[in-house]
Structure 1
Amino acid sequence: MDLLSSTDRLLGSAQVTNSTTGVWPRAAALLLRLALEEGLRQYWRTVRPELARCPTHAQALCLESYTGAELARRWSAVWSGLSKACHYHSYELSPTAGELRAWRDEVAALLGALTRKESQG
């Protein structure tokens, strides 16, 4: 099962109880971030295989040179938001289901854009 489908299942069946409050949103954010990172690695495997072995931050820094500024900025903005959402902070609330769905849609759009760029060479 792919990571976006797992996220969809989690978002669709999230049962909030006293023991899971704040847990499932972070789990969904982590799945989305992993999907985004894996999509970027797949892009580099096709376009520049040596970059696929670099840390995610280095891959993101190179993205603008290959895909253009807009796609690179969108990727970085979503990755940053998801990274922040993955970590527990006692002074911040977990992401809402609406925020997670918006991130999920943006991750899917970014993965599609990377796939199209990949096929363009």
Structure 2
Amino acid sequence: MTDDTARADVNAAQSLLRPAAGTMTVLGPGVRARASALLLRRALERGLDDFWQGVVPGMTRIGKHRILCLGAYTDRETARRCYLIWSALSTACHYRAHELPPGPSEIQGRLLEVEALLEALERGPTVPHSVSASPSGPVHVGRPATTPVAPPAAVRSVPKPGPPPGRRAAPPVIGDQ
């Protein structure tokens, strides 16, 4: 895992979700699941802080931008999963009177996903195929100048709204004529 505190948060969430046998719990399963979701979201945010500390240290101050910019430094699947899991955990953390609390089994699945994401973030930044390094040293994000940009093969053109080809549009109706 990336950080001992992130790992401690994941372990605390696990112990809330699955209390030891014979342990008397005062909190109901919904409250424990919501508390676990909060711990897991904090662990994910700490993992993101550690990741960005190694890439761009100033990025740790910017909240949600850390997740949105992740796709430029990791593979898109990791960035997508990170955003989806963070959003789901954020939703599970909030109390709403008209909704049921999250179930322990739902948060248990999120726990496994957070562990996998923390391991992926621990590996550090990867250089995607669209990042090129110049001989002078700095890394430029974007397409290399020698790669031509071609539209995807599956793109279909969408017709403009209006009458079918070969017909004229009807004149607009004004008032009662």
- Shorter-chain TM-score bucket reads 0.7 to 0.9
Unaligned runs of 5+ in 2: 128-177
Structure holding more helix per residue: 1
| Alignment: residue pair count | 118
Residue correspondence of structure 1 range 1-121 to structure 2 within 5 A: 2-13=8-19, 20=28, 22-55=30-63, 57-118=64-125
RCO (CA 8 Å, sep 6+): is it higher in 1 or 2?
Answer: 1
One-letter amino acid of the counterpart of residue 109, structure 2 = A
Identity percentage of aligned residues: 42
Of structures 1 and 2, the larger Rg is shown by 2
Q: Within 2, Cα distance between the matches of 1:32 and 1:40?
A: 12
Unaligned runs of 5+ in 1: none
Q: Within 2, Cα distance between the matches of 1:4 and 1:77?
A: 18
Structure 2 contact 29–104 (Cα < 8 Å) conserved? no
- TM-score, normalised via structure 2 length: 0.61
| Runs of 4 or more consecutive aligned structure 1 residues displaced over 6 Å after TM superposition | none
Superposed CA RMSD in Å reads 2.0
Partner of 2:134: none
